[in-house]
A and B are shown apart, each in its own frame.
Chain A
Amino acid sequence: EAGVTQFPSHSVIEKGQTVTLRCDPISGHDNLYWYRRVMGKEIKFLLHFVKESKQDESGMPNNRFLAERTGGTYSTLKVQPAELEDSGVYFCASSSRMNTEAFFGQGTRLTVV
């Protein structure tokens, strides 16, 4: 069974540019989460999808961040325009409807210069 896949693994962009991160959850998992770890800080929740609906987006830092999950399959997280403080590792996780165990991807390391 394929795990959670994130793309790209690394991204270096200039301040003001746009970046889109992608997450492919485990097939059949209704729940999809985005988390972020900024350098030196703890991993923090960004948002939670149940299928294609946003269940909880209380962790999204500001309106420069836009997450989508079209058709309830893969998800994208777009940052536009990127700022220096957006640098960090972005993790995606998925879980099934009946299980709290979340499976994580390897993360996307975003560097804004």
Chain B
Amino acid sequence: AQSVTQLDSHVSVSEGTPVLLRCNYSSSYSPSLFWYVQHPNKGLQLLLKYTSAATLVKGINGFEAEFKKSETSFHLTKPSAHMSDAAEYFCVVIFTGGGNKLTFGTGTQLKVEL
């Protein structure tokens, strides 16, 4: 079965420390992978996407993600967290044969503390 799993529902970091949000998917084929962010009272915004070019993808606001086929993972990282990064983050997948339908992970709430 095709699925996407975000391993942590909540992550808390101190400002200036690294961020790691984990995502794994289950699929027989390499899917298209995305990270979206939702700030409070805002819509979903695309952070970055992987579509079989470079395995290390750079996104907006200093975020990046690495596609690791052997581990079926697409973890999101940022070297130094900022207060403005506090939001909910979604790992999203388009599975092969699924049209353009997005399948969402359950979301990770990122809290950034002083």
Contacts and interface: CB of A to CB of B under 8 A. Distances in A.
Contacts of B99: 48, 55-56
Contact of A106 (B43, B51, B103): B43
Given A48-B99, A100-B51, A105 B43 contact: yes
Given A35-B102, A43-B90, A102-B100, 5 more contacts: A42-B106, A42-B107, A45-B103, A101-B34, A104-B44
A33 B43 CA distance: 14
Contacts of A55: 99
B101 interface: yes
A44 B103 CA distance: 7
Nearest to B100: A100
Given A100-B32, A100-B51, A100-B94, A45 B45 contact: no
B45 A104 contact: yes
Interface string B98-113: 0111111111000000
A41 B46 CA distance: 20
Contact of A43 (B41, B94, B100, B104): B104
Contacts of B100: 31, 33, 48, 95, 100, 102
A74 interface: no
> Lowest 7 A-B CB distances belong to which pairs?
A104-B44, A106-B43, A43-B104, A42-B106, A104-B43, A42-B104, A45-B101
